[in-house]
Structure 1
């Protein structure tokens, strides 16, 4: 073949690749617009009735610390505000979303009141997640220290990639280094009344895990204008309760590791509740391997989440999961936003990280990992309660889905690494 023919053929291949890429991009945009439009119509025709089952907060002892599990936003916010109102020395407050509504204002008033009585108050919020909130809401009076995790950072230009794009998705409150809170709840009226989530209060030596997580993040991003926080070592060590903290700037993603470790050890049951469930191939393979060896693997996800594109991308995994013996349960009539798992009645995790790319290898996250039969029993009780508000997706139903749905799933499949 002559050089001219080779160049013409190479040119034709390049043009074909360009046309294919353009066609796929157009199809993906059309699919996204379509599913969003259909979802908006569904919401208007069938608004959720509101309300969901919950249980009163229950406390157990884990490694010498008192762990209380919350399934109601109202109960949680009352407990958080009570802790802030009782603060004597320090308040560390960090939230991915902090709405400027009446619930958000209650937290703002409590933080200001604490500062006025001499408490050192430190606040962190993610700027991108709160673009819809008027900036004036976050103008807190001195001497409150506020770290606004910026939308754009210089590292996005100097060091582009996963290390620079992560958002601060964490939700932490620590009062006097004696009481800590962590979990899936953001701050706002929507989350108090309409979203089913799970959060923890920690009292005792394990509070250090959350205290240290806040201080390390603060000291890394405070800049020159904000004071440093003391970096104190743990007074005691107990591996039965540990905080796993994802830090993309340092390429540290231990939350993914704790899931893989627990799934690999499972011999009886794995119960997972997730707002957005888009597992990578290794987590997917681990769940399927567990099901093959007889483990009862159950996953609760929203029937309709607040991110419909994520729902459709997640659907691409359902066939393999159902064929492999994993049961999928759709949470109905409310958005389930919890990020929890429990294995074999022994191990549990509750935190801020979803099982998706954004959380496990992208954002700043924190999950509390606990080895406790008592805490696992409470998590299983909550899981069983949530199942009563679910419907099970059967393989027969899945196999009967419309051909158009299959096409949309295939078109959106390339978006998996982005969600």
Structure 2
């Protein structure tokens, strides 16, 4: 079960005007499970996304990036906006070469034909096993069912339809007032393994009903990702398929045309807060996870070095297994700090804390530190690791989980 992450309640997930959702059970990998998702957008919608940096990025990632670029280039009165998103689970369509591109394009064309739009107006997404051809015929066969079930109030089913090794769906909603206008936003995410900064084997979709100009939305999605999905790590593997999409449906009263508008900052903060909630839900549901850790690096010379150190701690298998065992073998954290790549780091000024327990003082063991205090913190299901570098005012936070026996079992059996 996910660490301190209750199941979302379907009735709490608010419909967002301007987006309709439908799903199908297409039998892509297993029968009788939701595995195809269609999100149909209003013509007023703008869409922006960020994607994996893995050079082996999957066919749907390549196509979605190309379709987004074409929509931007042709925006305006005569342009054809993104009309729908198509997601399948059970197969990643990655490492599949030209065949993979052809199969993904085939599914886009099939959905476009049924919606009466162009194939370039469809964004495809896939998640699941790598190096196996996409069963496009199954995806296409499921489209009529998904389209027939299109409705605004379908977010819980959408969250279930994108799961792979997740133990539970991940979803949330917020309602905020900005500039006197009510803005409704709902988002879903999936992911439990192959999670590392610069996106991971995760999918995230967040929609809200404001009208936002494309250049503004492009900035907003990068800010939100940088402060949420790019601050999580489970196992240090960057996947081939990760994508995080923002959808401004344009169906509400709020309109933002510039980042200079005061309303932009309010919308940015609300979107980022929900994005962080969805990102943390992924870490809490990490494969085999029993603990959720926040790693805060403070007093750095710049954010980049703070992130380097936080990621180094969060990626370390030795650190993560120590947390799983509730073993205060905290020299492993110091070692991870030391090899993080901050070459001029003066460790004689460094201080390390576990929650309220001061572990290392000025680069060495705090004389007042008692191992039983460290073990008391390590037994908690939520732990904060705080590192003070004494180099400046910069800070960064990364969220991670422990590494358990179950992680090995889940990934050893993943294809069976």
Q: Scaled by the length of structure 1, what TM-score is found? A: 0.26
| Structure with more helix by fraction | 1
Q: Scaled by the length of structure 2, what TM-score is found? A: 0.26
